[in-house]
């Protein structure tokens, strides 16, 4: 989907959709591929470029867990995106995780927020753009906070992430049940 304010083709999707879309649009997508240590790692031979990020889908920073998201994970993904093209227009960007509901929407939302002009409507605009890309998004609060902290102080990021995840549409998505497989 074309994100007009960013002049960028962007997709936020699941593992299966990433495999399908990169196969259909060979050599087109630059992909941030998020997987957990016990999840399958996407093989995307038809993507233009791929950056792999490995962390669990948790909203709690806990050192006893296998792999919590860390600021370095998010910074590395953003560096990958920044190196794609000097833009605008920006190179086609896909961000995916296993289900495309939590980690990838959070990373995409933080990145979109960072690209928008600074004004009072910035967060609302970023949410609207994310929901246009992924209507069922329920962004991971920790990934979102770490992503926003790339553009502001950590306390400001914590406060903004809290406000964002309380958005009524995002809240409905968070508590919506997934269809049985």
Q: Where in the chain are the domains? A: 2-175
Query: Can you give the pLDDT at residue 66?
Result: 75
CB crowding 132-162: b at 16 or more within 10 Å, else e = ebbeebbbbbbbbbbbbbbbeeeeebbebbe
Report how far residue 38's alpha carbon sits from residue 177's, in angstroms, rounded to the nearest whole number: 23
Could you tell me the two tokens for 177?
């049940």
Q: What is the pTM of this model?
A: 0.92
Q: Stretch 162-180: mean pLDDT, rounded?
A: 81
Interval 95-117 mean pLDDT? 96
Query: What burial letters (b/e) apply to 37-62, b meaning 16+ CB within 10 Å?
Result: eeeeebebeebbebbebebbbbbeee
Query: Do you know the residue count of the chain?
Result: 181
Residue 177 is predicted with a pLDDT of 53
Q: What's the pLDDT at 90? A: 84
Q: What is the dihedral of CA 36, 47, 173, 37, to 10 degrees?
A: 0
Q: What is the mean pLDDT of residues 73-101?
A: 91
Domain 2-175 has CATH 3.30.750.80: no
- The answer to whether 131 and 137 are in contact (CB under 8 A) is yes
Give the dihedral of Cα atoms 106, 7, 135, 150; nearest 10 deg.
10
pLDDT at residue 132 tops 90: yes
For a pLDDT cut of 70, what percent of the chain falls above it? 94
Q: Where does the pLDDT of residue 5 fall: very low under 50, low under 70, confident under 90, or very high at 90 and above? A: confident
- Stretch 36-40: mean pLDDT: 91
In the prediction, which pLDDT does 119 show? 94
Mean pLDDT of 4-8: 86
pLDDT at 18 over 60: yes
Which of 15-24, 57-66, 79-88, 103-112 is predicted least confidently?
Answer: 57-66
């Amino acid at each position: 989907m074309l994100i007009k304010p960013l002049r960028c083709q962007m997709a936020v999707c699941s593992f299966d959709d990433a495999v399908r879309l990169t196969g259909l649009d060979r050599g087109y997508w630059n992909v941030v591929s998020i997987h957990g240590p016990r999840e399958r790692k996407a093989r995307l031979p038809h993507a233009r470029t791929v950056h792999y990020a490995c962390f669990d889908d948790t909203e709690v920073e806990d050192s006893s867990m296998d792999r919590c998201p860390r600021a370095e994970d998010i910074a590395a993904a953003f560096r990958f995106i920044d190196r794609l093209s000097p833009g605008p227009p920006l190179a086609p960007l896909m961000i995916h995780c296993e289900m495309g509901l939590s980690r990838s929407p959070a990373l995409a939302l933080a990145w979109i927020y960072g690209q928008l002009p600074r004004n009072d409507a910035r967060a609302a605009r970023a949410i609207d753009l994310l929901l246009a890309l992924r209507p069922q998004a329920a962004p991971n609060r920790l990934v979102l906070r770490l992503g926003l902290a790339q553009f502001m102080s950590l306390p400001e990021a914590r406060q903004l992430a809290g406000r964002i995840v309380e958005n009524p549409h995002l809240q409905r998505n968070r508590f919506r049940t997934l269809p049985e497989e």
